[in-house]
């Protein structure tokens, strides 16, 4: 049986950090934008939550932190699962 996991990981990580820089800008600027109005990043989910404070959330395929970081800013305890270390790197600097 072939090991597809390592190939998938390489593909997901290929220039991922550079992609997020181009797409979203530097992590510090993205973090500033999130802190300005974290709820605006979660519009699709607002109908499901009256508050994010104290919620425990698993963010599967968390990518660059687009959802996890605003959730954490709003008081949720967020665990992110993502195969890409470059995605993690970008999200942690946000």
- Whether pLDDT at 38 is above 90: yes
- Take residue 16 and report the two structure tokens written for it: 């991922």
CB crowding 21-44: b at 16 or more within 10 Å, else e: eeebeebeebbebbeeebeebbee
Q: Can you tell me whether residue 57 is helix, strand or coil?
A: strand
Residue that wins the pLDDT comparison between 31 and 8: 31
pLDDT at 35: 93
pLDDT recorded at residue 1: 55
pLDDT surpassing 60 at residue 94: no
What mean pLDDT, rounded, does the chain reach? 90
């Amino acid at each position: 049986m072939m090991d597809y996991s390592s190939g998938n990981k390489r593909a997901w990580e290929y220039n991922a950090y550079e992609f997020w820089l181009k797409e979203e800008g530097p992590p510090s600027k993205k973090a500033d934008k999130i802190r300005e109005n974290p709820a605006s990043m979660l519009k699709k989910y607002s109908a499901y939550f009256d508050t994010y404070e104290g919620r425990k959330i698993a963010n599967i395929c968390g990518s660059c932190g687009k959802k996890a970081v605003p959730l954490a800013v709003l008081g949720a305890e967020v665990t992110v699962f993502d195969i890409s270390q470059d995605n993690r790197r970008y999200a942690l600097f946000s």
